[in-house]
Chain A
Amino acid sequence: AQSVTQLDSHVSVSEGTPVLLRCNYSSSYSPSLFWYVQHPNKGLQLLLKYTSAATLVKGINGFEAEFKKSETSFHLTKPSAHMSDAAEYFCVVSDPSGSGNTGKLIFGQGTTLQVKP
């Protein structure tokens, strides 16, 4: 069965320093992977997605992620954090073989990103 593990529940960085949010996945097939961001009391917004094309994926707001099949990882990075990046981030996997083509997604537990001035 497919699953996703976010390795840090909380990450704290200073403004202007790099951001790294770690995500490992487990999938019996070739997965599609997503990163979503959620600001307090808001819905989720798609940051970027990997769907078996280029392994380095660029998203909105300067974020990017690299799909590494050998490491079963899909870590999210940003070169320089901004105060507005403070939010909850979710790594998500969609496994066609497991979901039966229903569009169901499996969510990680989330990582809270704190950005200090």
Chain B
Amino acid sequence: DGGITQSPKYLFRKEGQNVTLSCEQNLNHDAMYWYRQDPGQGLRLIYYSQIVNDFQKGDIAEGYSVSREKKESFPLTVTSAQKNPTAFYLCASSKPVGVATYEQYFGPGTRLTVT
């Protein structure tokens, strides 16, 4: 089955530690995205990548870093510089469905709790 996997589903870390969230897709999509979801705030874009070895900051990139060494993988590192890291993190990939229009597919998410 094609899809997007995120691991782990739940992650617990101590404050001050960096943590890396995994995102893998086998849909052969070029573009991938990371979102953060907080209650009542919808989804906010952290980083996105349109092609291997290239990525751009989204709306809330501070305190996060990414890499895109392979088409299938787009890991997100939450660094100790992120002031409020506890959140639900969603990874997505997209395919074109029209002229300059893309449809995004989402993974199941990782819930990160930092104490």
Contact = CB atoms under 8 A, between A and B. Distances in A.
A interacts with B: yes
Interface of A: 9, 32, 34, 36, 41-46, 49, 51-52, 90, 94, 96, 99, 101-105, 107-110
A94 B101 contact: yes
Contacts of A96: 99-101
A73 to B, nearest CB: 18
Interface size class for chain B? 20 to 34
A104 B48 contact: yes
Given A32-B98, A43-B106, A96-B99, A110 B42 contact: yes
B103 to A, nearest CB: 6
Contacts of A46: 103-105
A110 B40 CA distance: 7
B90 interface: yes
A108 B21 CA distance: 25
Interface string B98-114: 11111111111101000
Contact of A101 (B40, B97, B100, B104): B100
A102 B4 CA distance: 19
Contacts of B31: 102-103
Contacts of B6: 43
Contacts of B73: none
Given A90-B43, A103-B31, A42 B109 contact: yes
A102 B56 contact: yes
Contact of B97 (A42, A43, A49): A49
